[in-house]
């Protein structure tokens, strides 16, 4: 599947922040952990909280609803390796941010 432009480089979250981006019918969470950009499904598996509205703590995206922590590189839940959200390849080319769904 080809990469799709989701944003301009200037739209990316600052280090230590996450943000929501819409890709077609889907919303993804783009996180900036110490300068590393990653993209994962925006829906927390616990109660459907919006991960892109969460915060970064200890290199994890923390769901704003109930505090579940997710590794933005692997999609794995911090408390239980059996829980995992989808992670998507993301890259910056020039001023464009591209994601592969």
Indicate whether this model's pTM tops 0.85.
yes
All domains of the chain in start order, with CATH: 4-94 (2.102.10.10)
Identify whether the C-beta of residue 70 lies closer than 8 Å to the C-beta of residue 86.
Answer: no
Per-residue pLDDT of the chain (101 residues; tens, 9 = 90+): 699 999 999 999 999 999 999 999 999 999 999 999 999 999 999 999 999 999 999 999 999 999 999 999 999 999 998 999 999 999 999 999 999 99
């Amino acid at each position: 599947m080809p990469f799709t432009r989701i944003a301009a480089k200037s739209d990316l979250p600052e280090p230590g922040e996450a943000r929501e981006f819409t890709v077609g019918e889907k919303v993804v969470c783009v996180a900036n952990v110490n300068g590393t950009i990653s993209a994962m499904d925006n829906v927390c598996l616990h109660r459907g909280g919006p991960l892109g509205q969460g915060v970064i703590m200890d290199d994890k995206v923390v769901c704003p609803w109930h505090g579940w922590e997710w590794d933005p590189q692997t999609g794995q839940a911090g408390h239980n390796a059996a829980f995992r959200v989808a992670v998507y390849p993301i890259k910056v080319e020039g001023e464009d941010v591209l994601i592969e769904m």
